[in-house]
């Protein structure tokens, strides 16, 4: 193998740049030519390649977003488009592709491998919702961003004696809500993986009030939604002023945490090594603290699970 390419796809995540850097530098270290694909699968079908050098990934280790840009590309679900992409890769003498993204991005990568083109995936999603790995790049930074926001909201919640419903990202997974809720000392955490009863949330606020607590923080995952509605209902049923804050895309940006940089560096280098060893159709990951890899087929069949013992912990600590 002499030439490989790397792309980022789907929602960006802090640490993607660190992973690009690791892929480029490990590849060059091993004697490969490395190309970047601009704008994810969209750039792939347009043949938008850029040669990467040691210097091209200098000064990006600390930058959020992705220097290669990213897209969500509906067109790439079409087999004919996938075949065209392979043709373009071959015309450019590229022999392997590393895809940094989430499960949607890996479906595209699996198809490329099935059609005869070697691909390896690196999990990048702030939601941490990818099966086959305990960790996805960007999650730690996103949680830290959410916790910092909760801390700030807590200051004003205290001053004004208000209840706050804070909605955090996580389309189908409650990991950000769970971690941010525990680390931000939320009274209640509402996630898609656990049944919730708004009456219970309201009772907990009232109980806190009875023992002198004058402000409360409720963290709700985007996947549960209804943050605005919940805020309204809580205010009506408690009589306490309640505000709703939706943190939104600030969770997707920012300088990656040290943990995200470490994971991105390790996973990026492993992805190159696997591709060079002839592995294909696999995603690198980490399980029980060990770097590992899983086939895209298993990733697709699997289901990300949340650690519900943390949820129970939160309930016992926020009495």
Supply the residues annotated as catalytic.
Answer: 127
Which residue number, 125 or 144, has a Cβ lying nearer to ligand F6P?
Answer: 125
CB of 251 to ligand F6P, least distance (A): 7
Q: Closer CB to ligand F6P, residue 170 or residue 184?
A: 170
What is the nearest approach in angstroms of ligand F6P to the Cβ of residue 10?
7
Q: Are 41 and 71 in contact (CB under 8 A)?
A: yes
Question: Considering the rule CB under 6 A, would residue 42 count as an interface residue with ligand F6P?
Answer: no
C-alpha span between 142 and 315 (Å, rounded) = 22
Would you say 170 or 192 has its CB closer to ligand F6P?
A: 170
E strand segments, the chain: 3-8, 33-37, 49-52, 96-101, 119-123, 163-168, 188-190, 216-221, 242-246, 282-287, 290-295
Q: Which is nearer to ligand F6P, 166 or 234 (CB)?
A: 166
Q: How far is the CB of 170 from ligand F6P (least distance, A)?
A: 5
Q: Which residues contact 294 (CB under 8 A, 6 or more apart)?
A: 131, 132, 133, 282, 283, 285, 302
Q: How many CB atoms lie within 10 A of CB 258?
A: 9
Q: Cα–Cα distance between 64 and 17 in angstroms, integer?
A: 7
Residue 238's contacts (CB-CB under 8 Å, 6 or more residues apart) are 163, 202, 205, 206, 209
* 181: contact with ligand F6P by CB under 6 A: no
Interacting residue with ligand F6P among 14, 49, 117, 127 (CB under 6 A): 127
Show contacts with ligand F6P in window 84-123 (CB under 6 A).
Answer: 102
* 216-221 and 242-246 strand pairing: unpaired
Q: Is 125 one of the binding residues for ligand F6P (CB under 6 A)?
A: yes
Cα distances from 28 to residues 22, 54, 128, 275, 305, in angstroms, run 10, 8, 29, 14, 36
CA 303/CA 319 separation, integer angstroms: 31
CB 14 within 8 A of CB 141: yes
Alpha carbon 295 to chain centroid distance? 19
Which of 289-303 are b and which e, b meaning 16 or more Cβ less than 10 Å from the residue's Cβ? eeeebbbbeebeeee
C-beta of 2 vs 249, nearer to ligand F6P:
249
Candidate ranges 16-24, 163-171, 203-211, 298-306; the one touching ligand F6P (CB under 6 A): 163-171
Site string for ligand F6P, 235-264 (x = CB under 6 A): -----------------x------------
> Site for ligand F6P (CB under 6 A): how many residues?
10
Q: What would the x/- binding string for ligand F6P be over residues 193 to 232, using CB under 6 A?
A: -----------------------------x----------
170 is in an annotated binding site: yes
Q: Shortest gap between Cβ of 102 and ligand F6P (angstroms)?
A: 6
The single residue among 15, 27, 132, 170 that binds ligand F6P, judged by CB under 6 A, is 170
102: left (phi over 0), alpha (psi -120 to 50) or beta: beta
Strand order in the sheet with 282-287: 49-52, 33-37, 3-8, 96-101, 119-123, 282-287, 290-295
Minimum Å distance from CB 126 to ligand F6P? Answer: 5
Tell the smallest beta-carbon distance from residue 140 to ligand F6P (Å).
Answer: 14
The single residue among 3, 30, 69, 171 that binds ligand F6P, judged by CB under 6 A, is 171
Binding site for ligand F6P (CB under 6 A): 11, 102, 125-127, 169-171, 222, 252
List the binding residues. Answer: 11, 21-25, 72-73, 102-105, 125-127, 154, 162, 169-171, 185-187, 211, 213-215, 222, 243, 249-252
């Amino acid at each position: 193998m002499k030439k490989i390419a790397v792309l980022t796809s789907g929602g960006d995540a802090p640490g993607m740049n660190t992973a690009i850097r690791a892929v480029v530098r490990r590849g060059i270290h091993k004697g490969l030519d490395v190309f970047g694909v601009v704008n994810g699968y969209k750039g792939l079908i347009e043949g938008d390649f850029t040669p990467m050098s040691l210097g091209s990934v200098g000064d990006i280790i600390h930058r959020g977003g992705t220097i290669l840009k990213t897209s969500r590309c509906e067109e790439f679900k079409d087999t004919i488009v996938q075949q065209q992409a392979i043709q373009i890769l071959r015309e450019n003498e590229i022999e392997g592709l590393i895809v940094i993204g989430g499960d949607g991005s890996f479906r595209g990568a699996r198809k490329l491998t099935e059609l005869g083109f070697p691909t390896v995936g690196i999990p990048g999603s702030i939601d941490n919702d990818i099966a086959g790995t305990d960790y996805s790049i960007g999650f730690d930074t996103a949680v830290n961003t959410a916790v910092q926001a909760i801390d700030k909201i807590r200051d004003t919640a205290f001053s004004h004696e208000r209840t706050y419903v804070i909605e955090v990202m996580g389309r189908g997974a409650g990991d950000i809500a769970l971690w941010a809720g525990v680390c931000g000392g939320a009274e209640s955490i509402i996630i898609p993986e656990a049944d919730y009863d708004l009456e219970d949330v309201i009772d907990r606020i009232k109980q806190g009030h009875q023992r002198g607590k004058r402000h409360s923080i409720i963290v709700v995952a985007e996947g549960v939604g209804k943050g605005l509605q919940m805020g309204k209902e809580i205010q009506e049923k408690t009589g306490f002023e309640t505000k709703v804050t939706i943190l939104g895309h600030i969770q997707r940006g920012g300088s990656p945490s040290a943990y995200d940089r470490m994971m991105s560096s390790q996973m990026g280098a492993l992805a190159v090594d696997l591709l060079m060893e002839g592995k294909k159709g696999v995603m690198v990951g980490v399980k029980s603290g060990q770097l590992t890899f899983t086939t895209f087929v298993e990733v697709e069949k699997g289901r990300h699970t949340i650690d519900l013992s943390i949820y129970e912990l939160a309930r016992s600590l926020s009495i």
